[in-house]
Amino acid sequence: MLDPKAAGEIARAFGLGANARLEGPVAHGRKGEVWRLVTDEGRYAVKALFGTVFRERAERDAAYQDVVRDTGVPMPAVLRTLSGNVLADVGGPPPNATVRVYEWVDILEPRRDLDPREIGRLLARVHNVEAPAAGTVDPWYREPVGPQVWGELVEALRAEDAPFATDLAALVPQLVALEQTFEVPADVRTCHCDLWADNVRATRDGGIVLLDWESAGPESPSHELGMVVFEYGLGDPARMLDLYAAYLIAGGPGRISRAGDLTMLGATSEHLAEEGCRRWLSATDEGDRELAAAWVEWLLHEPITPATVADVLDAVAGLGGSRGA
């Protein structure tokens, strides 16, 4: 956890003014917690990073963010230290904290019922930035959990009387069936890779802003499009069609034509649930177990199954299934 006493050190490192104070944390994610830094020059978002920090990757995703933002995509600017670095270590000798800083944006609570046409247009603008992909697509977005792992997790959860164990066990056959449709992405370029509703926010001035680009990396625009159509389509064929049509009209390169185009949606949701199971099993107090259970219950509340994929494909059928660039 970031020490609020580090406010002045962060402000000095990034050249953000005097009389600094940290407020928060105001948000939490898988990769870090966000604090609000207030100085006599303004407000800034400070992300304190969890776990191992890969500096080369941070510099790479920041450069990608700069390029995307220059095209007019609404997103907070990446701020750099006075020496030009994206990351800074603060808080004295180890254990210290590694932080990165962004322009502050006033956002509203997460909502999936944002204008689907606007989401489609924004996604097309992101995908039209043809940034070369560094490396291969992360297994998180494309690989199945597999029947053996699901079976082992369910057995362990039942042994510990997990409240969601029975519901998860009943869902596993459909998850395994869905995994048979997963495809290795072919049309790969750099994508956002985390466009769930937590990271696509309405702003107080009526706009929409895209946040949390630290996961940006290799992915198929088609696969990211499939996930976004599901997330903001809300199971409504008209909303899904509106989003997809707006994306195509705006020149987006992705296409949804077969079940494999929903690989990112299925794999990501399953791996989130898998990690939730593992965290629940390793948790040492009830609070941690409740947080872990929420990850699993997210999937149980709105399962991603072969029927889900069929609904998406039916909604967008006939609107140009051939592959883009």
What is the tens place of the pLDDT at every residue in 32-85?
799 999 999 999 999 998 777 788 889 999 999 999 999 999 999 999 999 999
- Strand spans (E) along 50-154: 78-79, 88-90, 97-103
Numbers of helices and strands, H then E, in the chain: 10, 10
Question: Same structural domain for residues 229 and 294?
Answer: yes
Q: What does the pLDDT read at residue 49?
A: 85
Confidence of residue 92 (pLDDT cuts 50, 70, 90): low
Q: Around Cβ 135, how many Cβ atoms within 10 Å?
A: 10
Q: Is residue 146 part of a domain?
A: yes
Here the CATH number for the domain that contains residue 202 is 3.90.1200
What is the tens place of the pLDDT at every residue in 252-291?
999 999 999 999 999 999 999 999 999 999 999 999 999 9
Residue 95: pLDDT over 80: no
Q: How far apart are CA 223 and CA 181, in angstroms?
A: 12
Confidence of residue 132 (pLDDT cuts 50, 70, 90): confident
Average pLDDT over residues 231-260: 97
CA dihedral 69, 70, 72, 78 (to 10 degrees): 30
**CA angle 133-69-103, nearest 5°?**
115
Q: Could you tell me which residues come within 8 angstroms of residue 188 by beta carbon, excluding any fewer than 6 positions away? A: 133, 136, 137, 218, 219, 220
Question: Same structural domain for residues 43 and 172?
Answer: no
Q: What does the pLDDT read at residue 130?
A: 86
How many Cα atoms occupy the beta-carbon half-sphere of 227 within 13 Å?
23
Closest CA to 49 of 6, 96, 106: 96
What is the tens place of the pLDDT at every residue in 107-117?
999 999 999 99
Average pLDDT over residues 145-151: 98
Q: Is residue 246 part of a domain?
A: yes
Residue 8: pLDDT over 60: yes
Question: Same structural domain for residues 81 and 124?
Answer: no
CA dihedral 95, 291, 193, 256 (to 10 degrees): 170
Domain that holds residue 32: 4-103
What is the tens place of the pLDDT at every residue in 310-321?
999 999 997 765
Here the CATH number for the domain that contains residue 74 is 3.30.200.20
Last residue of a domain, one of 62, 82, 103: 103
Residue 325: pLDDT over 50: no
Q: What does the pLDDT read at residue 195?
A: 97
Average pLDDT over residues 216-242: 97
Q: What does the pLDDT read at residue 29?
A: 72
Q: Is residue 325 part of a domain?
A: no
Q: Which two tokens stand for residue 124?
A: 């097309």
Q: Which two tokens stand for residue 59?
A: 């510099």
**CA angle 282-299-305, nearest 5°?**
130
Exposure letters 32-61 (e unless 16+ CB within 10 A, then b): bbbbbbbbeeeebbbbbbeeebeeebbebb
Question: Same structural domain for residues 177 and 278?
Answer: yes
Q: Is residue 42 part of a domain?
A: yes
Residue 226: pLDDT over 60: yes
Q: What does the pLDDT read at residue 323?
A: 52
Question: Same structural domain for residues 40 and 149?
Answer: no
Question: Same structural domain for residues 58 and 127?
Answer: no
Work out how many domains the chain is built from and give that number. Answer: 2
Q: Could you tell me which residues come within 8 angstroms of residue 323 by beta carbon, excluding any fewer than 6 positions away? A: 187, 222, 255, 257
What is the tens place of the pLDDT at every residue in 13-28?
999 999 999 998 998 8
Q: What does the pLDDT read at residue 324?
A: 44
Average pLDDT over residues 240-263: 97
Last residue of a domain, one of 54, 78, 103: 103
Q: Which two tokens stand for residue 255?
A: 């296409």
Q: What does the pLDDT read at residue 211?
A: 96
The H or E element containing residue 201 is: strand 200-202
The residue with tokens 């407000």 is: 43
Average pLDDT over residues 139-143: 97
Question: Same structural domain for residues 95 and 120?
Answer: no
Closest CA to 125 of 54, 210, 33: 210
Return mean pLDDT, the chain.
93
Percent pLDDT > 90 in the chain is 84
